[in-house]
Amino acid sequence: MSENKVAAPAKKLRFMPQLAGRPYLGLSLTLAVIVIMILWPLVTGKDITRETVFTILLSVTLASSLNILLGYTGYVSFGHVVFFGLGGYVGFYLLAIQGWSLWMAMLAGGLSSALLAYLLGRAILRLRGAYFALATIGINEAMRAFINNFKPFGGPIGMTLNFQVYRDYGGASQALWMVFYTMGALTLLAVTVSFFVRTSKFGLGLLAIREDEDAAEVMGVVAPKAKTWAYVLSAIFPGIIGVLFFFKNGSIEPAPAFRLHFSIETIVMVMLGGQGTVLGPVVGSGLYQGIRGYLLTSAIFKNIQLAVAGGLLLLIVLFVPDGVIGWLRHRFPFLRRVLQ
Amino acid sequence: MDFILASVIDGLLLGFVYGVAAMGLTLIWGVMNVINLSHGPIIALGMFGVYLIFGAFSLNPYVAILIVAVLGLVLGVAIYYVAVQRVINAPHLSTLLATFSVNMIIIGLGTAIFSASPRNVEFSLGSLTLGPITLLGTRVVAAFAAMLVAGALYLFLYRTRYGRYIRAVANNRDAAELMGVPSNRILALSFGLGTMLAAIAGGLIATFFPFTILAGGAYELKSFVIGVLGGLGNPIGALFGGLILGVLEGIIPTFMPTTWVPVVEFLLFVLILLVRPQGLFGAKS
C-alpha cells in the first residue's frame, strides 16, 4: 500500500486515521453536530440564538481551516486572520464599490486569499517553528498597515455598504437568515474538506511532515509542495467567510479585519478541541464561545473575562495539550473509531 | 537638512530605548528558544509602575525605574515557574500559547484596574538646544540610561559567574547541567532578566510618551522587528537593531506620510526573516 509507505517513517502518528475501520462514522458524527447547531435557531425561533450560532459556525469554519495547517502539518500560523481580512476586503470592495453579487464577491474573496497563501507559501513555509509564527504575525501587521494607507479600500475609514444592497436579498431581516444558512453550508463544506484532507494520501504526507519533516522528505513526500497546498487550503474558507461576515456587518475597517487577537482565539479553539482531529475544532469552537459568552454575561467575571480566559488557556496548555478530543481518544481507545 | 538631522537624532535616542525592550525579548529567545508573547503587557506594567510610584510618592521617575526593574525581575521569575517551566521542551505552539495566556491575564486584570484611558507621567527635564537642534531632556536621559543598561547587561553576561552560567545554558542545556549548572534556576533568572529589561524600557518610555495599559503591544511588535534585525538571541545585535529602527522612524516621515512607517517596518521584518533569518548581526552567539 502506498499509504503505508508514506506513513512509515513517522515515529508516532498520534492521530493515525483508521483507514481500515469506518472513517465515515467520524465524519457523519461531526456533520450531525453541525446540522443540529444550524437547526437550533429554527427550533427556538429567536434572533439571538441565530446570532450565537452564527458566531460559533464562523469559529468552526476558521478553526477547521486553520487545523489543516496547524493540526495536520504542524505549522503555527499566528497571523491567519490576514486571509479573513484580505478576503473580506477584496469581496467587500467588489460588492460595495463595483456592485458585484454576494456570491461572486465571496468567490473572489476566497480566491484572493488562496492566491496570497500560494504566493506567500513558497517563501515563508521554508521557515520553521517560531520563525514561521513570527513571519505570519509580520505579514498580518504589514497587510493591516498597508490597507490603512490604501485609498481604493477607504484607508483608515474603510468602506460601508449601501443599505439598498440588502433589498436584492429580500430585505435586511431576510438577508440575515440567508447569511446564516450560507454560513451553515460553508461550515459543513469546510469540515468535509478537512476530513477528506486528513484521510487522503496528501493528508498522510502532511502528518508525516508534522512528525518529522526531514524524514518525510526522505520517504518521498514533496514537502514544499504539500505544505504550500495545505496553506492554500487553509486560506480559502477564511477568505470566503470574511466576505460573508463583513456583508452582514455592513462595514469594514482595517482594525477589526486584521485583529491579531482574533487569530490567536482561533488557535485556542483548535487547541481546546484537539489539534489534528476533525471533530476537535468543532467542539473547541463551541466550548470556547460558550465559555466566553458565560464570562461576558456573568456578574462576577464580566470585568475580568479576558484574565479568566487567559487562566483557562494556561491550564489547557499546561495540562491538556491534546485538547478534549485528543484526551478522550487517548483515554478511551475504543472511541477512536467515532471521534475522528 | 536641519530638520532631517533633528529627526535622525531624535530617532536614535528613541532607538536606544527600543533596543532595551528588544534585548529583553531576544535574551529570552537566545537562552530558551521561547518567544515571549507577554512582553508587551510587561512593558505596559513598567509604564504603570513608574506612573504609580511617581504619583504616590513623588519619587524621581528614574529612582522609580530602579524599583520597577526589581519588580520586573521578580515577576519574570514567577511567570517562568508558573507558565513556562512545564512546557519548555514542548513544541513552540505550547510556549507561544502559554506566554500568550499570561498576556491575556495581565491585560484582563490591567484593564479592569486601570481602564483603557491614557495616562502620562507629569515630569519634565526641559529641553536641550544644540545649534539648530532641540532635544527633549527626558529622551536624552532615557538614551543614556538605555546605554547604561545595555553595558550592565554585557558586563553581567560576560564578566560574572551567573552570566557565564546563562551563556552555558543557552549554548547547551544538558551539558551545562552535567557541569553542575542549576539549569532550571538559570532559565528562571534569564526569563526574569528579559522581563526586567522590558519593564525598564516601559518605564523609560513612560517619561516622555502618554500610554494606556494596551500600549505595550506596539512596542512588543517593534521588539520582534528589532530582534529579527539584530539576530534573534543576540542582545547586543538588538541594541543596534533598535538604533536602525529608531532612525528609520525618524527619517521615513520626512519623505512619506507617517502612516507608511509600519508598512515599511513590517515588510523589512518579513524580508529579513526570509533572506537573512540570522539577522544583520548574526543570531545567538
Residue count of chain A, please give it.
340
Determine the residue of chain B that is closest to A77 in CA distance.
Answer: B93
Mean pLDDT of chain A: 88
B104 min Cα distance to partner chain A (Å): 5
pLDDT of residue B92: 83
B235 or B189: which carries more pLDDT confidence? B189
B252 min Cα distance to partner chain A (Å): 15
B139 close to B126: Cβ distance less than 8 angstroms? no
Q: Name the burial class of residue A265, with classes exposed (0-12), middle (13-18) and buried (19+) by CB atoms within 10 angstroms of its CB.
A: buried
Q: Where are the alpha helices (H) located in B115-213, listed in sequence order?
A: 137-159, 161-171, 173-178, 183-206
Local confidence band at A13 (pLDDT 50, 70, 90 cut-offs): very low
Q: Is A307 on the interface with B (CB under 8 A)?
A: yes
How many domains, in total, are found in chain B? Answer: 1
Share of chain B above pLDDT 90, in %: 64
Q: Which residues of B touch A78 (CB under 8 A)?
A: 96
Helix axes A130-149, A260-273, angle to 10 degrees: 140
3-state class percentages of chain B: helix first, strand second, coil last, to nearest 5: 75, 5, 20
CA nearest B244: which of B225, B217, B262? B225
Round to whole Å and give the CA distance between A279 and A325: 7
A114 close to A235: Cβ distance less than 8 angstroms? yes
Q: Which residues of B touch A134 (CB under 8 A)?
A: 35, 224, 228, 273
Round to whole Å and give the CA distance between B31 and B166: 7
Determine the residue of chain B that is closest to A130 in CA distance.
Answer: B92
Q: Which residues of A touch B96 (CB under 8 A)?
A: 76, 78, 130, 133
Indicate whether B243 belongs to any domain.
no
CB contact under 8 A, B225 and A138: yes
Q: Which residues of B touch A142 (CB under 8 A)?
A: 262-263, 266-267, 269-270
Indicate whether B276 belongs to any domain.
no
Indicate whether B249 belongs to any domain.
no
CB contact under 8 A, B224 and A317: no
Q: What are the tens digits of pLDDT across the range B21-52?
A: 999 999 999 999 999 999 999 999 999 999 99
Q: Which of A76, A124, A317 lies nearest to residue B98, judging by beta carbons?
A: A317
The separation between CA A276 and the C-alpha centre of its own chain, rounded to angstroms, equals 13
Round to whole Å and give the CA distance between A224 and A297: 46
Helix axes B183-206, B2-32, angle to 10 degrees: 160
A273 close to A340: Cβ distance less than 8 angstroms? no
CB contact under 8 A, A314 and B105: yes
Q: What are the tens digits of pLDDT across the range A161-175?
A: 888 888 888 888 888
Q: Which residues of A touch B232 (CB under 8 A)?
A: 131
Provide CB contacts within 8 A for A189, sequence distance 6+. Answer: A237
Q: Which residues of A touch B220 (CB under 8 A)?
A: none
CB contact under 8 A, A307 and B108: yes
CB contact under 8 A, B224 and A138: yes
Q: Which domain holds residue B43?
A: 2-224
ipTM entry:
0.87
Q: Which of B90, B92, B228 lies nearest to residue A76, judging by beta carbons?
A: B92
pLDDT of residue B6: 84
